[in-house]
């Protein structure tokens, strides 16, 4: 066994990043919230028991601060203490309380101007840059923590749904396949998409609250910047960065990622982050261990772009092939043809379909055999899933093929290439060779056709742009 | 008021005055204003409205550290303490002020002659 020495410092650095981000965010939480250590400004009664001029002055001054809540509370408390001292001193000099209050407030100057000057003192360019850097750092830590926590949460929900489905199945109730995931791999992509959605939400939320705290600004004032950055960054990643199996469900889950990033910057951003209760951590940990075991047991093996070959033990009638076209009359097609396929080599991964004479029948070349026929083409039809009981064959819910390619004569073979991996929801398919006969009607030339199944592979953008 | 320096002349000196009085120990805002007034024999009465923005600017620049402490009378106070950065800033401002005041004295004295 070899140990990658680079993995050790990388792991340590990764762990240090998360711990530092957590400490940074927790420190930011103390500044953004009032917290137990933040002093509160004492309220003083007015001289006539009516409207308190000191509180009114402090309110006007606070309205100009636009600082985090803890900073506002500190400035208010500091100035309230200053006014208390100043008033007491003036009263000691012989002024009555009302005059002393007026004089003390006059010495501080206009409340609005004082508030603006104190805000300018706090919101320096240096702090703004530090806030931006801290926000990026916290976003990284928040993403990792959100991914871990989101993984727990999503796994727990998945276990619950699996238990519900098992219970319903035991009761004889079968729900429709909402995921349209015949091979069981879409569920994993959806789980990853939802987990990443939670991570994106946490990332922008951590970024907003940390940068607000470090730069001495309100969360709302920096939220727009982080929402734009998070929406664009995560949006690009969701559309172009996540490659693999795609379906309508997985694309929907992936498009939730940038939406969550924007929402994380705005929704209830003034509220402190919740601290997970201990029981939630324990439940999440159990789910995190149990869910993969359940999924591994349930999903089983799956393939991509595989062909099942001829279902020789079945009759053509079992496969509902007449849905496509009737079989060509023997007088117009004296020799039998067989369609088969193979995965193309190279980067495309497309499937090559070909049709040939069944060997041992006759020695006639294929071209004269098909001289009575025109518009030869391969038709790809949606088929019944392979793992369902029965012979499979054409899915009779469909009345037209989802892909058609002209059959090109190549020596003694008719060829066409289908890129099933880039066709939306191709799933299980059945390919038949058809042509228009001397009577002007379309017939199928191959008795059984050729079946297989494929999963869309690519990015969410590829899926959105792909033909249906 | 006779014997006091005009407000315009005090502009720009608040930082030097604050750092100077804090060199001797921790003080809170109101005490700082009082100490400046006492040390100048009543000649300097800094605007209280400019005192707090100056204190917060110096804190943001790392020249001061602030902490909340219990007070003998009234609510808790926010005490300011000069830092190593603040001492360096005080030296620079003091040298600038010495150069400025010497030049002003020469210029004004020369005009009288």
* CB-based contact B47 A86, cutoff 8 Å: no
Domain boundaries, chain B: 7-106
Task: For residue range A384-402, list pLDDT tens digits in order.
Answer: 876 666 667 888 888 899 8
Shortest CB distance from A39 goes to which of B47, B54, B68? B68
Shortest CB distance from A78 goes to which of B29, B61, B74? B29
CA-closest candidate to residue A329, choices A451, A435, A449, A450 = A435
* CB-based contact B74 A77, cutoff 8 Å: no
Distance of alpha carbon A296 from alpha carbon A309, whole angstroms: 28
Residue A34 has pLDDT above 80, yes or no: no
Question: A228: distance to nearest CA of chain B, Å?
Answer: 29
* Whether A43 contacts chain B with CB within 8 A: no
Question: B78: distance to nearest CA of chain A, Å?
Answer: 6
* CB-based contact B30 A117, cutoff 8 Å: no
* CB-based contact A81 B76, cutoff 8 Å: yes
CATH topology of domain A306-465: Immunoglobulin-like (2.60.40)
Position A70 confidence tier, pLDDT thresholds 50, 70, 90: confident
* Best mean pLDDT range from A199-208, A247-256, A414-423, B94-103: A199-208
pLDDT at A203: 94
Task: For residue range A190-242, list pLDDT tens digits in order.
Answer: 888 889 999 999 999 999 999 999 999 989 889 999 999 999 999 999 999 98
CA atoms within 13 A on the CB side of A452: 25
**Prediction ipTM score:** 0.87
CA closest to B52 among chain A residues? A118
> Cβ of A255: how many Cβ atoms within 10 Å?
17
Please give the residue that has the higher pLDDT: either A9 or A95.
Answer: A95
Contacts B30 to A, Cβ<8 Å: 81-82, 85-86
* CB-based contact B53 A107, cutoff 8 Å: no
Distance of alpha carbon A98 from alpha carbon A106, whole angstroms: 12
A105: Cβ contacts below 8 Å, ≥ 6 apart: A53, A54, A57, A83
If you average pLDDT over every residue of chain A, what do you get?
A: 81
Yes or no: domain B7-106 corresponds to CATH 1.10.10.10: yes
CA closest to A112 among chain B residues? B49
- Lowest-pLDDT range of A71-85, A157-171, A258-272, A430-444: A157-171
Q: Which of B75, B77, B79, B80 to mutate to test the interface with A (most CBs of A within 10 A)?
A: B75
As a whole-number percent, the residues of chain B with pLDDT over 90 amount to 48
Measured distance between the N- and C-terminal CA atoms of chain B, rounded to whole angstroms? 28
* Whether A376 contacts chain B with CB within 8 A: no
Q: Which of A78, A105, A122 to mutate to test the interface with B (most CBs of B within 10 A)?
A: A78
Residue A307 has pLDDT above 70, yes or no: no
- Lowest-pLDDT range of A80-94, A271-285, B42-56: A271-285
> Do the Cβ atoms of A288 and A264 come closer than 8 Å?
no
The residues with which B28 forms a beta bridge, in sequence order, are B79
Question: B63: distance to nearest CA of chain A, Å?
Answer: 13
């Amino acid at each position: 066994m070899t140990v990658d020495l680079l993995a050790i410092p990388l792991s340590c650095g990764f762990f240090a990043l998360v711990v530092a981000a957590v400490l940074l965010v927790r420190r930011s939480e103390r500044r953004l919230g009032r917290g137990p250590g933040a002093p509160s400004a004492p309220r003083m009664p007015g001289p006539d028991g009516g409207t308190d001029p000191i509180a009114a002055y402090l309110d006007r001054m606070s309205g100009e601060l636009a600082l985090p809540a803890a900073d506002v509370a500190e400035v208010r408390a500091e100035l309230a203490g200053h006014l208390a001292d100043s008033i007491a001193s003036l009263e000691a000099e012989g002024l009555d309380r009302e005059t002393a209050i007026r004089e003390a407030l006059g010495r501080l100057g206009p409340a609005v101007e004082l508030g603006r000057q104190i805000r300018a003192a706090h919101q320096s360019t240096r702090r703004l840059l530090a806030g931006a850097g801290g926000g990026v750092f916290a976003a990284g830590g928040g993403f990792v923590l959100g991914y871990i926590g989101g993984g727990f949460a999503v796994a727990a929900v998945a276990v619950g749904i699996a238990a519900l489905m098992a219970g319903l199945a035991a009761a004889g109730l079968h729900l429709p396949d909402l995921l349209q995931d015949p091979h069981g791999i879409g569920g994993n992509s959806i789980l990853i998409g939802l987990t990443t959605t939670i991570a994106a939400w946490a990332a922008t939320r951590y970024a907003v609250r940390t940068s607000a705290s470090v730069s001495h600004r309100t969360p709302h004032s920096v939220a727009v910047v982080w929402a734009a950055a998070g929406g664009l960054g995560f949006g690009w990643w969701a559309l172009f960065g996540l490659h693999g199996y795609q379906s309508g469900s997985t694309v929907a889950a992936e498009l939730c990622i940038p939406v969550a990033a924007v929402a994380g910057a705005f929704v209830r951003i003034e509220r402190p982050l919740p601290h997970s209760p201990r029981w939630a951590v324990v439940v999440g940990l159990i789910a995190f261990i149990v869910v993969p075991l359940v999924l591994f047991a349930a999903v089983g093996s799956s393939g991509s772009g595989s062909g099942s070959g001829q279902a020789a033990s079945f009759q053509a009638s079992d496969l509902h092939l007449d849905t496509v076209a009737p079989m060509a009359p023997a007088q117009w097609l004296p020799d039998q043809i067989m369609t088969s396929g193979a995965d193309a080599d190279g980067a495309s991964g497309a499937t090559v379909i070909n049709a040939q004479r069944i060997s041992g029948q006759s020695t006639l070349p294929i071209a004269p055999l098909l001289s009575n026929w025109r518009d030869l083409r391969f038709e790809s039809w949606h088929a019944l899933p392979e793992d369902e009981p029965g012979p499979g064959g054409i899915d009779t819910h469909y009345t037209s093929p989802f892909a058609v390619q002209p059959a090109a004569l190549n020596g003694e073979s008719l060829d066409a290439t289908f890129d099933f991996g880039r066709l939306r929801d191709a799933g299980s398919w059945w390919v038949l060779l058809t042509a228009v006969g001397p009577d002007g009607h379309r017939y199928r030339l191959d008795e059984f056709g050729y079946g297989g199944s494929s999963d869309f592979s690519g990015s969410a953008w590829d899926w959105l742009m792909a033909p249906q | 008021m006779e014997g006091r320096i005009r407000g315009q002349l005090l502009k720009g000196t608040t930082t030097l005055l604050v750092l100077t009085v804090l060199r001797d120990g921790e003080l809170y805002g109101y005490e700082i204003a009082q100490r400046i007034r006492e040390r100048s024999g009543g000649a300097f009465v800094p605007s209280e409205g400019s005192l707090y923005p100056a204190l917060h600017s110096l804190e943001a620049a790392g020249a001061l550290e602030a902490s909340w402490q219990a007070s003998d009378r009234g609510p808790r106070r926010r005490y300011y303490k000069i830092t190593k950065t603040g001492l360096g800033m005080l030296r620079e401002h003091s040298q600038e002020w010495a150069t400025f005041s010497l030049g002003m004295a020469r210029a004004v004295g020369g005009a009288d002659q």
